Amino acid sequence: MKLKEVIQKARPLAEPFRVSDGSKFRLKHVDPGDTLQLKSEDKPLAKEALAIGVQALTTLQDMLYAQDRWAVLLIFQAMDAAGKDGAIKHVMSGVNPQGCQVFSFKSPTSEDLDHDYLWRCMKCLPERGRIGIFNRSYYEEMLVVRVHPEFLKAQKLPPELISKKIWDNRAKDIRNFEHYLARNGVVVRKFFLHLSKAEQQKRFLARLDDPDKKWKFSTNDAKERGYWDDYMNAYEEMIRNTATDYAPWYVVPADNKWFTRVVVASAVIDALSSLNLAYPKVDKAKQKELDAVRHALMVSNDHLGAG
Ligand code: ATP
Ligand code: MG
């Protein structure tokens, strides 16, 4: 399939889940089990589409790297077992590792806590020509930190700076930060993999039963599940307050992994294809240089294998 065709097919798969104006957003309007009009019999077809999408991404990333102007930042947020790791692994599987970097953000270290909360993320921003992936991000500052006020207390902020407005202020700062990135050629796309509580239970139980997956289970994950409603409220507020046209959220149904991956791949293809990427053109002077090198190589070819 031609690149142009893949790009055309990708857009309608990602578009329904894109939120670029949060004012009317409600989480309850997105069904975690949604697969658009695709049925589970279409799973092999979806897998094929993903493979084609991954190939297209490889080409687009190659151009992104060669052009060396734009950087792309993909942010992934989700409840545990929603499939962040799998989505990142599958969607980026064809991408040249030299042009892509993944950073996972866990509980902050004491060094992190000695700085403002964006500090540790800023150090990991992608260079021009690269795709950077944040597996969790500064958005945890409006999620886990909001759900567990003790984390906010541990942040060593001057007490007079902690008020009820802190979450609105964080949203405002993040919006401004992402606008700054957009104005500097960093394309930001954010993914919330929206899993249902019932599907999370199923996946946790499957992990406990599978000897190869047991290691992935942490008792803390089960504890966090107890705060499900608080998390959903925090996610909704986060999306309402930080979805913008320059840094949209994709709220991706996550109960079916095969569907999640197709939507994520489509959104990334859509983002890259909006950049009008092209391989740098060789000017006349450079072409002359290349012709001379070709000539020299042809001449020296005579000696090849001579000793
Ligand atoms: P996986 O479980 O697939 O390995 P993960 O992203 O869940 O991936 P964990 O090590 O299980 O990784 O969890 C990281 C934890 O760190 C999460 O519970 C997250 O909420 C927490 N975390 C991330 N950022 C912050 C933060 N700024 N403050 C407090 N906790 C944070
Ligand atoms: Mg985890």
CATH topology of domain 3-282: Rossmann fold (3.40.50)
In this prediction, what percent of the chain has a pLDDT beyond 70?
98
pLDDT at residue 240 tops 70:
yes
Among the bound ligands, name the one nearest to the CA of residue 215: 1
Residue pair 81/135 in contact by the 8 Å Cβ criterion:
no
Query: What is the pLDDT, as a whole number, of residue 303?
Result: 60
Q: Residue 106 CA: which ligand is closest?
A: 1
Average pLDDT (208-231) is 93
pLDDT value for 144: 98
Band of pLDDT at residue 195, cut at 50, 70 and 90: very high
Q: How confident is the model at residue 238 (pLDDT cuts 50, 70, 90)?
A: very high
* Per-residue pLDDT at 304: 59
The pLDDT value given to residue 155? 96
pLDDT digits (tens, 9 = 90+) for 6-59: 999 999 999 999 999 999 999 999 999 999 989 988 899 899 999 999 999 999
Query: Per-domain residue ranges for the chain?
Result: 3-282
**80 CB within 6 A, ligand 1:** yes
Grade residue 217 by pLDDT with cuts at 50, 70 and 90: confident
Verify whether ligand 1 is closer than 6 Å to residue 140 (CB atom): yes
Question: Residue 266: pLDDT above 90?
Answer: yes
Give the pLDDT mean for 111-123. 98
pTM of the complete model beyond 0.85? yes
How does residue 301 score in pLDDT terms, banded at 50, 70 and 90? low
The response to whether residue 151 sits with its C-beta less than 6 Å from ligand 1 reads yes
- Structure tokens given for 177: 């930060």
Measure Cα distances from 132 to 50, 246, 273 in Å.
Answer: 20, 17, 17
User: Could you say which ligand is closest to the alpha carbon of residue 141?
Assistant: 1
Mean of per-residue pLDDT scores for the chain: 95
On the CB side of 37, CA atoms within 13 Å amount to 1
Closest by alpha carbon to 249, among 24, 20, 26, 71? 20
- The pick from 107, 134, 220 for probing ligand 1's pocket by mutation, whose C-beta has the most ligand atoms within 8 angstroms, reads 107
Q: Is the CB of 234 under 6 A from ligand 1?
A: no
144 touches ligand 1 (CB under 6 Å): yes
Position 213 confidence tier, pLDDT thresholds 50, 70, 90: confident
Q: How far is the CA of 297 from the centre of ligand 1 (A)?
A: 55
Closest by CA to 241, choosing from 15, 19, 12, 6, is 19
Centre of ligand 2 from the C-alpha of residue 211, in Å = 17
Q: Residue range 118-138: average pLDDT?
A: 98
Average pLDDT of the segment spanning 171-181: 98
Residue nearest to atom 29 of ligand 1 (CA): 107
- Whether the CB-CB separation of 82 and 254 falls below 8 Å is answered with yes
